Amino acid sequence: MEVAIFSSTPYERQYLDEANRSAHHKLRYFDVPLDMDTVGLAANYGAVCIFVNDNANADVLEALHKGGTGVLALRCTGFNNVDLKAAGELGMKVVRVVTYSPNSVAEHAVALLLAINRKVHRAYNRTRDSNFSLDGLTGFDLCGKTVAVVGTGKIGCVFAKIMLGFGCRVIGYDPYPSAEFEALGGRYATPGEIGEKADIISLHCPLTPATHHIINSETLKRAKPGALLINTSRGALVDTEAVIEALKSGQLGGLGIDVYEQEANIFFRDLSSEIITDDVIQRLVSFPNVIVTGHQAYLTREALTTICETTLNSITAFEKNQPLENEVKAA
């Protein structure tokens, strides 16, 4: 099957090519994201493959449908960038990668937490300048601290398990409680408990209308002063302006993010020789107690292999008119 792959990167292509050795599809790579300006590139491709910051709104889907696309394959778990209702009305199938390596994202969340707490980024920059002073680098023991896991699915459970291994108390929040989370030793928080007791809050939930800006000025006011916030899920879970104010006041003790609300025009690109006009991200990275990584939490060999194999297998199943195990539909 002919497949148009948008937002492709050199490091991804090698894994897609390897997965395609057995799938035998005709892959065409496009560096650009999918949107109304680029959708014409997908004309006559039966399958279109996109990533987290591609735009598959109703207009784009209509254009894809007219061009002959029958299946839209997301090489990611989240699908908030796809108008599922419009896809259903057009008869277009949408598939995603339900799970790849929950360890990759959970471990990156822990890396951000450790780096922020122990000021690793600041120490690294100092020692490169032969400054071995320890002033301002004091952190705290994780052992005995309370960690709130918001979203206790596969990734949240792996993160909780790691935190329990550090000797932390782990509390969770999820409208759909997980027996696995409780079996690990976590327990679900009582109303108001996360704000009162959590020393660390880590977000592991999908972006939905209900979770949009789940971290906002009101929730931050109720947070324990000096708490650390980690987000490796979706940028819009966090009201970035509210977080900046909380950082300025000291209400929030530190921030580690791998995702950002307006990342579509910034992430996955080398802008080191350009002037970034996004004042919000510029303000964020100016804080000494903030670490921003460019949506790399999923970026392990194991995860990339699974993502590419799952994506192409779904396209093969569509081509052969087989059941689509990873199909996602409008609620």
Active site positions, annotated: 234, 263, 295
Nearest CA among 204, 201, 211 for reference residue 80: 211
Q: How much helix, strand and coil, in percent to the nearest 5, is found in the chain?
A: 40, 15, 45
C-beta of residue 286 within 8 angstroms of C-beta of residue 280: no
C-beta of residue 244 within 8 angstroms of C-beta of residue 284: yes
Residue spans of beta strands (DSSP E) within 57-108: 71-74, 93-95
- What is the CA angle 239-240-242, rounded to 5? 70
The sheet with strand 71-74 has its strands ordered as 26-29, 2-5, 47-50, 71-74, 93-95
**In whole angstroms, what is the distance from residue 287 CA to residue 247 CA?**
8
Name 257's Cβ contacts closer than 8 Å, sequence gap at least 6. Answer: 112, 230, 231, 232, 235, 238, 284, 290, 291, 292, 293
If residue 170 lies in a helix (H) or strand (E), which one and from where to where?
A: strand 169-173
**In whole angstroms, what is the distance from residue 90 CA to residue 58 CA?**
10
What is the length of the chain?
331
- What is the CA angle 139-281-173, rounded to 5? 60
**In whole angstroms, what is the distance from residue 155 CA to residue 100 CA?**
10
